[in-house]
Structure 1
Amino acid sequence: MAYAYWKTGKMEDKAVFDLFFRKNPFRGEFAIFAGLGECVKFLNNFRFSCSDIAYLQEILPNVDQGFWEYLSQLDASQVVTMSAIPEGYVVFPKVPLIRLEGPLPVIQLLETTFLNLINYASLVATNAARFRITAGDGVQLLEFGLRRAQGPDGGLSASKYCYIGGFDGTSNVLAGKLFGIPVRGTHAHAFVNSFSSLDDVSENLAMSWLTKISPILNILEHETNKGELKAFLAYAYAFPRTCLCLLDTYSVIKSGLPNFLAVALALNEYGYRAIGVRLDSGDLAYLSRKCREAFVLIADQFESPWMKKFTVVASNDINEETLISLKEQLVEVNGEPRMKLSEDVGKINLPGKKSVFRLYSEDGLAILDLIQLCSEKPPEVGKKILVRHPFIESKRAYVCPYKVELLYRDYWGNNGLTQSFPSLQELKKTASDSLKTLRQDIKRELNPTPYKVSVTNEMYNFLHELWLKYAPIGELS
C-alpha cells in the first residue's frame, strides 16, 4: 500500500487514523486499555535499515528505486503526532483509543504493529481485571502462565499486563526483574516426583507429627506417600519462611494434606511458619473446603491458631474464554472525512477527527462517553447536553454532567514524547481507579448492563449526512 501511495503522489497527504474496537471481550461490557507504552517506543524507533530495504528489494524486484530512497529517509518520529486515552483506563467499543496524524503512507505502515501491540495487551489486562472483580480486593491473584504462553515474549507481556489489570504477582522471574512485579511461586509436580522415600530420614520430627495427626484426620498413615513427605521437607528446608506446598501429586486428602500439616508443625517447632498449600487438579472448591476443615481441626487440637490462616492457592486452567477484535480505520485524509460503509451497522466507523469526553455523575460514577467532532465546543459541567445513539434515531437523552473529563492526552508531537510515561505500578493503580468509576451492574459477570457511548447532535447529523452521501442509491426494476 505504501508503494501505491508513493506511486500516485500521495506521500504527503495528511491522514488521521483512529484505533478502536467494536466488541467487548469475554461477553462483558468494558475493556482495559493497555499497550500504549509499547506503541510509543515503536513510534520512536520506526525506520527502515539498510538490511530491511535490501530484503524488500529481493521480494519486490520491480519497485522503482525512488521508493527505496523514500523509505531510507523515512523517520516516523519526525512526522507523526499521537493522542490517546491514558493506558490503564477502562474503555468501550467505538471510542477511539489512539489518534494518529501524519503522512498517509507512514500512518498506514504503523497500523498493523499498533494493532498487535494494543490487541494482546488489552485482552490480557481486561481478563485480569475481570478476575480481580470476581475475586474481590481481599484475595491475592498470582499469574503462573509462562509455561503455556505464546512464546517467551508473549509470556513476558502477559505477566506485565496481568499486573496492570489487577494481579498481585507472577512466577515469571524475568518479569519481576524487568518490571518490578512481585515474584511468587511454588514447586512443581516434578519436584515431588523426584523424591522416592524417607529411607535416609526415617526418624524425623515430621514423621512424628504425621503419626499424631493421621487418626485425627481419619486417614491411614501408611497410605501417605513418603516420597512426597520428603519433597515437602526438602522444600521447607530450603524455604522455611515461604513454604507453600503443592498437594495433588498423589492424593490431596490421603497424602498431600497430612504430609503438609506434618511438615508445617515440624517447622513451627524450629520457629518458622509455613504459608499454605496449592491445589492444581480436581474439584478445587471441594478440596479447598476440605483443606480448610483440616487446618481448623488440627489448629484446635494442638492449640495452634496460626494454622487457620494458611493460604490455599488454586491453579489449574482458571481462565475465561479469549475474544477481542481491535480494528484501525482511516477516518480523514487532507481534512476530508472518510467513512467505511457496511451492511452491518455495527461495522460502520465514525468519520472525522474526533474528541472523546467522559461524563460523570455527582457520585463519581461514569455516565457515558461522548464522541464529538474536534471543531465542537467541549461539554460543560452543569450544562444540559443532548446526547444520541450513533445509529438509532429514537435513542436520545439529556445529560447534565457533574464532571467532564477529556479522555485524550497528547503523547507524541514535535519529534518526541510530549509527557512523561507512568511506571507499571502507576498504570496498575490507574486501571484499578478507573474500574471504580463504573457501576457494579456494568462490571458484573452475568448479563452486564451495556455502558453508553453516545455522540453529540452535531456529530450525529454529520455522520448521517456522510452516510447518505457515500451510500449508493439502488434502482428498482
Structure 2
Amino acid sequence: MEDPSLLISQDDYALLTDLYQLTMAACYVGEGLDQRRASFELFARRLPKGFGYLIAMGLTQALEYLTHLRFTAAQIESLKATGLFEQAPPQFWQLLAEAHFSGDVWAVPEGTAVFAQEPLLRVEAPLWQAQIAETYLLNTINYQTLVATRAARLRDVAGPKAVLLEFGTRRAFSPQGSVWAARAALAAGLNATSNVLAAVKLGQQPAGTMAHALVMALTAVEGSEDEAFTAFQRYFPNAPLLIDTYDTVAAAERLGRKVQRGEVQVTGVRIDSGDLVTLSKQVRSHLPHTQIFASGDLDEYEIARLKRAGAEIDGYGLGTRLVTGEPVNGVYKLVDIDGIPVMKSSDGKVTYPGRKQIFRRLQDGQVVGDRLGLMSDPVESDSFGIEQPLLQLVMQNGQMLQPARSLEQIAQTTAASVASLSAAVRDIEQPVAVAVEISASLQRLTEATQRRLSPEALV
C-alpha cells in the first residue's frame, strides 16, 4: 500500500487512527467485549489560556467519517503484514472485514458555545467501534473548534461590519487542515476564504488580492508600480490592490489623484506591513471612498489595539494566528459500558462517569449558567426560565437523522451563541468563566463510582 503522495481519501478513514485503537479492538475481541455497548464523551478539561468559551465545530466531518468507516481487503492485508497482530484472535479479522458504524451519536449543534468539562459529542456504540473512532474525531473536532473559536473572537472584536477574510492556508498544519480551517472560519462568521479548493467544495466564492511578486515583476518589466496596478485591474477590475511593496503612502497618493481625475476606480487596497494605524489614516486621506484592508500576523488582540488607536481599516486578512495557536486539548473518554458507569480518577485528570447532558440556563437571551447532569436528569425551571438541553441525537444506528446544515446556518448559530455570552465571558484579556454546576445526581454517581473504584475495593 506504499503511497508517497500521502493524500487522504474516504477509503483511508479506517487506517487513519492510532495503532492502539486497533490493538485494543483486537483485545476486546479476544476477551469477548467488542460488542458490549459503550459510551465515550469528547470534551475539553480546560480552555486554552485567555479563552472564556469554545465554539463547537467539526461535527459534520465527524459524522461523515463514521458513515464511511470501512476496512478494505487491502488494508486488512497491510495490517497483517506488519506482523504486530500475529497473536490477535482470528475473529478480529472477520470483524474488520464486516465493519461499519452502527451506533448513536449525541452532539451539541455546530456553532454552540461550550465550556470546560462539557461534552461536545458522545458516541454510543459497540465498544470496538466507539474506541476506534477516537483518533479521527479528536483530530477534526479539536482543530475545527480551535479555528472556529478564534474566528468567533475575531468577529466579536472587529464588529459586524468589518470584512474578515481567511488567509491561513500556507500556515495551516497540513493541506487537509487548511480546508478544515477555512470551513471552521466561515462557519464561525468570517466572510470568505482565499483557499480555492475549500471555497469550491463549500459552495462559496473565494476571495483575495495579489502578492508583492506581481507588483515587483510587472514593475521590473513594465517600468513602474502604477503600470503593475493598471495591468492587474485590466483583468480583475474589482480586486483590491496591494500597495505596500515600496511606499504605501506614495502609492495611495498617486492612485487618489487618478481616482479624482476619473481615470480609475479603486474598490479596495491592502496594507501588509508597517505602522497600520498611521498608514491607514494616511491612505484614507488620499482614498476616502476606498475600502482599506490590513493583513500580516493579525489576531483579535492586534485588531482590538488597532481599533482603540483609531485605525482606518475596513477589513482584515487573517492567517497564521487564526489557524495555529494553543490547541484545544479535547479528550475522548469512556464514561459507561453496558450501563456500568466508569471514570478516570488519576490526579489532575478526573472525569465524570455516566452519560451526560448539558442543561443551559438563559435569562433574556443571556447565558447565566450551565448544569452538567445525567441524561436521566429532568429539565429544571426557576426564575430564569426553563433549561435548554444542548446535546441532541444526530445519528442513530449508524444513520444520520438530518441533513448537514449549511455554513450560513452554522454561522447564525455561532453569532447567536457569542451574543448570548456576557461581555465578561467574551473578554479576550481576562475572561470570566461561566459557572458550570454539577447536578446532585451526577455528584452522587461520581462519589459512588469513586468508592467502587477505590484501591481497597479493587483488591
TM-score bin (small chain): 0.7 to 0.9
281-290 vs 95-104, which moves further:
281-290
Q: Please tell me the root mean square deviation across aligned C-alpha atoms, in Å.
A: 1.9
Alignment of 1:166-315 (within 5 A): 166-196=189-219, 227-240=224-237, 242-253=238-249, 255-265=250-260, 268-269=262-263, 273-292=265-284, 294-295=285-286, 307-315=287-295
Report the counterpart of residue 99 of structure 2 in structure 1. Answer: 74
AA in 2 matched with 1:366? V
Report how far residue 315 of structure 1 moved.
0.5
Alignment of 1:13-28 (within 5 A): 13-28=36-51
Report the counterpart of residue 33 of structure 2 in structure 1. Answer: 10
Report how far residue 377 of structure 1 moved.
2.0
Report how far residue 378 of structure 1 moved.
2.1
For structure 1, the residue ranges without an aligned partner over 5 or more in a row are 200-225, 296-306, 384-399
Report how far residue 197 of structure 1 moved.
5.7
Report how far residue 431 of structure 1 moved.
0.8
Report how far residue 416 of structure 1 moved.
1.0
Matched-pair contact (CA < 8 Å) for 1:168–1:182: no
Matched-pair contact (CA < 8 Å) for 1:197–1:230: no
Say which of 447, 450, 459 aligns to 1:464.
447
- Number of equivalences: 408
Closer/same/farther in 2, CA of residues 461 and 373 from structure 1, 3 Å limit: same
Report how far residue 244 of structure 1 moved.
1.7
For structure 2, the residue ranges without an aligned partner over 5 or more in a row are 1-23, 300-320
AA in 1 matched with 2:246? Y
AA in 1 matched with 2:274? G
Alignment of 1:112-191 (within 5 A): 112-191=135-214
Distance 1:414 1:134 in 2: 42
Q: Secondary structure at the match of 2:288?
A: helix
AA in 1 matched with 2:229? F
CA radius of gyration, larger in: 1
Per-residue CA shift, 1:71-115, capped at 9, x if unaligned? 111211xx2111111111111110111111111111100111111
Alignment of 1:359-438 (within 5 A): 359-361=361-363, 363-379=364-380, 381=381, 383=382, 400-438=383-421
Report the counterpart of residue 352 of structure 2 in structure 1. Answer: 350
Closer/same/farther in 2, CA of residues 456 and 64 from structure 1, 3 Å limit: closer
Q: Secondary structure at the match of 2:96?
A: helix
Q: Secondary structure at the match of 2:359?
A: strand
For the pair 1:331 / 2:335, whether they are aligned, the reply is: yes
413-422 vs 447-456, which moves further:
413-422
Per-residue CA shift, 1:172-229, capped at 9, x if unaligned? 2222222123322111100001123687xxxxxxxxxxxxxxxxxxxxxxxxxx5211
Q: Secondary structure at the match of 1:313?
A: strand
Matched-pair contact (CA < 8 Å) for 1:196–1:227: yes
AA in 1 matched with 2:327? L
Closer/same/farther in 2, CA of residues 66 and 311 from structure 1, 3 Å limit: same
Report how far residue 168 of structure 1 moved.
0.8
Distance 2:67 2:221 in 1: 59
Alignment TM-score, normalising by the size of structure 2: 0.85
Closer/same/farther in 2, CA of residues 51 and 145 from structure 1, 3 Å limit: same
Distance 1:243 1:14 in 2: 56
